[in-house]
Amino acid sequence: MKQRIITIVLIIFFLVLAGVVYYRYYFVFGDGTKAGTMNYFVHKGNLFKTYEGRLIQTGIRTPTQGNIQSNEFMFSVTDPKVADKLNRSSGAYLELHYKEYKNPLPWRGVSSFVVDSVLAVRPYNPNQMMQ
């Protein structure tokens, strides 16, 4: 009887642990799109080589006057095909679709934002900054 209770408690513990790990690292918390000009895109890492990038978004307005708002979107990429497309699109105006996770994983990148597709690539037009 005692061993059966220990077995049930262990099964419940591992199920809860699996649920917590899934929620923190694999559950897609949100997704969306960002647009801007890519500042840099690199393939780096000591143990896990990951693709990391930074997108500079247009616009500098903030909700309250006097505050500074970051217009940089830092992201990771897991798909080599998407990474190749981003490498070939440096300097262009990009629209990216991303998924947001609660926490990053070392093999997924250093950012909680993971770009999974490139929606549009247009030549950069400096006048877009004024619109």
Where helices occur in the chain by DSSP H, the ranges are 2-25, 80-87
How would residue 25 be classed by pLDDT, with cut points 50, 70 and 90? very high
Residue 59's CATH number: 2.40.50.140
pLDDT in tens, 94-124: 999 999 999 999 999 899 999 999 999 888 7
Q: What pLDDT, in 10s, does the model give residues 78-100?
A: 999 999 999 988 888 999 999 99
- Note the pLDDT tens digit of each residue in 31-76: 999 999 988 899 998 889 999 999 988 765 555 665 566 688 999 9
Our count of domains for the chain comes to: 1
Residue with tokens 């798909």: 79
**How far is residue 119's CA from residue 33's CA, in Å, rounded to a whole number?**
9
Full-model pTM: 0.78
Residue 12 in any domain: the answer is no
Indicate if the pLDDT at residue 131 is higher than 50.
no
55 contacts 37 by C-beta, under 8 angstroms: yes
Residue 15 inside a domain? The answer is no
Is residue 51 situated within a structural domain? yes
Range of the domain at 36: 28-130
